[in-house]
Structure 1
Amino acid sequence: MDEQTKYMIVISFDCLASLDFERIKTLPNFQRVFQKGSYAKNVKTIYPSVTYPCHATIVTGNYPNRHGVVNNTLLQPGAASPDWNWYRSAIKGTTLYDEANKSHLTTAALLWPVTGKAKGIQYNLPEIFPNRPWQNQILVSLMSGTPSYQWELNKRFGHIRKGLNQPELDDFVLESTVHTILTKAPNLLLVHFTDLDTMRHHYGVNSEEATNALHRHDDRLGRILDALEESGRYEDTTIVILGDHSALDVNKAIHLNRIFLEKGLITVDAKGNIKDWQAYCNGCDGSAYIYLNSNNEKETKSAVKEILDELIVDPSNGVEQIMTGEEAGRRGADSACAFMVEARKGYYFLEHIQSEYLKEITQDDVWKNNKYMLACHGFSPEKLDYTTFFLMSGKGVQPNEIVPFMHLVDIGPTLASLLGLNLGQTDGQVIEQFIKANPVLVGK
């Protein structure tokens, strides 16, 4: 019997976590996958556990310091809205979709992070947004993906969207996914839904709004499964459902750059804009990098270390741990930073320089400024109850296998193995327990 996977759909429900397991296993469409599915209830994410590094890890099998996407955003001190790692060029080495393309498999991606201008994706609607006053959403998307494909999707389903608002954005992605399954028949389809993540940011981890998003995701999953059945390719398809990170409730924002400003490590002009900096806190929500830009690096590093040592003494300052760049690198983060700091539970980092060091976050703050949140991620994967989730079913998958624990870096090699592809030497390994017949073993 040929167990080679012919078609694979990878559905990323952003912020789907182990804590959601008891709920989703009761939902009707998740149950359709669980019936013959195999899963890992606890998947250890990466550091920093933010969306873009996580999704780059999923398709490479490597940690951020190896694939190169070390944060959601670029280091752009003082920018009101820093650019994100939107483009495929940010990833070092190969990816699952590159290898699929090399093997003459048709690939498609819908709002999958870090896929802008990816040559290995035939049908590409990348996740990107206009970040300059003269830009608009349709134009930046068209320039970064597959124009004819995007034009077709926008013509058919563009009326569903309300900018980047949820749940309308995911509803647009859903209709685009169903259409792609029925008309393009891609061998590899990557889909990214963010409704749950958005609701947790805005309302909290266990909010009613987050629960409602899980139910909407179940409905979306049902539509996708129905489309696969309608296409006649259901039995030949491997269905993968995953999360990228968990989330923790927060109510205080740490503005470390405010202290750097007061200590003279950041200077501003008359309008309050940064004109020079010697040290800068580059936020990753629950953690942050601190980079240096100084001719007197040793002196600046010592000054920063003194500030951090003073803060960590008092738990109410919100700093839980201080790491050197070398220590951060050993955890898979960016070793080029001078320091990496971890927030205590209930706190997270922002880059603002004009705000006080600590700010209490209210629901009203969240409505007024999208920088403020009531839950976030980016924390160390060592935090308690902070694992994510992985489920797969269908072609090539050994049914009803339960793996107690795996790493996010294991996903890429496992999916590549099912497709008969080779990601080369990776940080992760194939979870062979999931695979009925293993065409090609990749990874370590």
Structure 2
Amino acid sequence: MKSKRLIVVSLDALSSIDFDMFSKLPNFKKFIRHAACCRQVRSVYPSLTYPAHTSIVTGRTPAHHGIVNNILLQPERSSPDWYWQRNYIRGTTLYDEVLKQGKHVAALLWPVTAKSEITWNLPEIFANRRWTNQILTSAANGTVGYQLMLNHRFGRLRDGIRQPALDNFVHASLKYTLKTYRPDLTLVHFTDLDTQRHHYGVHSEEAAAAIKRHDERIGELMHLLHQNRMSVKRDTTVIILGDHSQLDVRNVILINKLLREQGYLKVQNGRVTEWKAYCQNCDGSAYIYIKKEGMDRDEYLRVKNGVYDWLCAMKNDPDNGIAAIYSSKKAKELGADPECTFMLEARRGFYFKNELDTAEIPDIQRATHGFHPDRKDYQTIFMAVGPDIIPGMEIEEMSLLDEGPTMAEIMGLSLPDADGRILHEIFKNQ
């Protein structure tokens, strides 16, 4: 392989349905002209940001790498922690393998990288305790000096986590990082489009505006590489990809509210204090966990069978929004958490939340993700340009799991435990 450098740009919630629109924008159009592309990339299950981004850098399913949701199972917490830290990932990652070679890695808001060994790390994490703040939390989980420098130079661009200000900050930080440090591997995560779709819907004007902003960012990135002699014809590969799509939603399903009414969980002062069955939302899907601790086998089976019968009755009523009920075995086969008791899939237009009442939901969404990756109009995108990539190569379909092994191949490395395959067909002389 000729590529000495790999830059991976994740555009959260970029969808296959966007291709006709963004392929006409000037910078995407120019990139696509020289790229190997797939318009139909199958995500993972559940198709959420953290499981997906971990699958991108491991080539493994959530069931295998361990990041089975965005959030941890913490029923007692009103604001559960997320899978922020690297130590939640089972097995190796692309960036671990690069670091083992004595090379350097930069990551900007790439999920599940907190407290990793990444050389220059601006982790995606937020302060989730009353006694701390965002600056201290970020500093404790990433590269302190690097983060302080970025905030000193570009912090004025931020407005908390509001978009597009956050992506403007990330983009400025990315350009500075590439120009100043020239990492061997760079991972960057933009969330502008994902945010707009959640707030306004899949086909909203706000989502289209976010894609246009991404086009400008891609143009500036490619211009910077050209200016700084990081040539995609000679020594640098750039990959632009999505992690999942989104679907429009109208109705929220509050399984825990109903579990409370059935006596399967207890609440005091708005918080869960005891539970035998609990629903952990994944937006378009959800896990049902039956707590084994504190119950003998007979009681456990009574609870399990009772919850299952109750869920089946709900599924038979289309107004309740449940499209499918999967067993633990089936969930594992689909790549989801093998530790769940059941997994639920929402009907189109519905999504799940953990809250006990709609009044407790902080933000009603217009669109969301987490659905089964084979849903119609729900695939994502992969595009690669580089010295080893065949321009104009069309990949009919692929999995998100194929991206990690393929990126490892570009860097002369391997991910031997990957569930995906190397996309040999996109490479010259293979």
- 8 A contact 2:280–2:286 mirrored in 1: yes
Q: Distance in 2 between matches of 1:278 and 1:149?
A: 45
Where 1:308 maps in the other structure, the secondary structure is helix
Alpha-carbon distance in 1 for matches of 2:141, 2:417? 29
CA shift, 1:370, in A, is 4.0
Residues 260-299 of structure 1: pairs in structure 2 closer than 5 A: 260-269=259-268, 271-294=269-292, 295=295, 296-299=299-302
**What RMSD, in angstroms, separates the aligned Cα atoms of the two structures?**
1.2
Alignment of 1:229-378 (within 5 A): 229-235=226-232, 236-269=235-268, 271-294=269-292, 295=295, 296-355=299-358, 370-378=362-370
Q: CA deviation at 1:403?
A: 0.5
CA shift for structure 1 position 396: 1.4
CA displacement at 1:81 relative to structure 2: 1.4
Task: State the AA in 2 paired with 1:404.
Answer: E
Q: Percent identity?
A: 47
How far did 1:21 drift? Answer: 0.3
- The answer as to 2:400 corresponding to 1:436 is no
TM-score relative to the length of structure 1: 0.94
Q: What does 1:130-149 correspond to in 2, within 5 Å?
A: 130-149=127-146
TM-aligned CA deviation for residue 437 of structure 1: 4.4
Per-residue Cα deviation, 1:163-183 (whole angstroms, up to 9, x for no partner)? 000000000000000000100
Deviation at 1:211, TM superposition (A): 0.2
Match of 2:142, as an amino acid? G
Deviations 1:227-275 (A, max 9, x none): 1112111231101000000000001000000111001100122x23211
The amino acid that maps onto 2:380 is: T
Q: Deviations over 1:131-173 (max 9, x none)?
A: 1122211111111010111111000001110000000000000
Aligned residues of 1:258 and 1:355 also touching (Cα < 8 A): no
Gaps of 5+ in 1: 357-367, 439-444
Residue 114 of structure 1 aligns with an amino acid whose one-letter code is V
Match in the other structure for 2:162: 165
Q: Which amino acid aligns with 1:266?
A: L
Return closer, same or farther for 1:169/1:253 CA change in 2, 3 Å cut-off. same
Q: Distance in 2 between matches of 1:267 and 1:223?
A: 53
Scaled by the length of structure 2, what TM-score is found? Answer: 0.97
85, 88, 110: which is aligned to 1:87?
Answer: 85
CA drift of 1:80 comes to: 1.8
* Alpha-carbon distance in 2 for matches of 1:249, 1:135: 36
C-alpha distance after superposition, 1:19-78 (max 9, x if no partner): 000011111111221121110110001100000000000000000000000000000114
Point out where structure 2 has 5 or more consecutive residues left out of the alignment: none
Distance, in Å, in 2 between the alignment partners of 1:207 and 1:31 is 22
Contact kept, 8 Å, 2:78 with 2:271, in 1: the verdict is no
The corresponding residue for 1:54 is 52
Q: Number of paired residues?
A: 423
Picking from 15, 18, 25, the partner of 1:17 is 15
Q: 2:377 matched to which residue of 1?
A: 385
Letter aligned with residue 6 of structure 1: K
Instruction: Identify the residue that residue 388 of structure 2 maps to in structure 1.
Output: 396
Aligned partner of 1:359 in structure 2 is: none
Distance 1:218 1:134 in 2: 40
* 3-state SS of 1:41 partner: strand
Whole-angstrom distance in 2 between the partners of 1:395 and 1:346? 43
Q: 1:441: which partner in 2?
A: none
Q: What residue identity is the alignment partner of 1:70?
A: V
Where 2:125 maps in the other structure, the secondary structure is coil
Q: Is the 8 A contact 1:122 1:146 kept in 2?
A: yes
Cα 1:109–1:437 shift into 2, 3 Å? farther
Map 1:405-416 → 2, pairs under 5 A? 405-416=397-408
| 1:279-330 C-alpha deviation (Å, 9 max, x unpaired) | 0000000000000114121111011101101101111110000001111000
Distance 2:378 2:340 in 1: 24
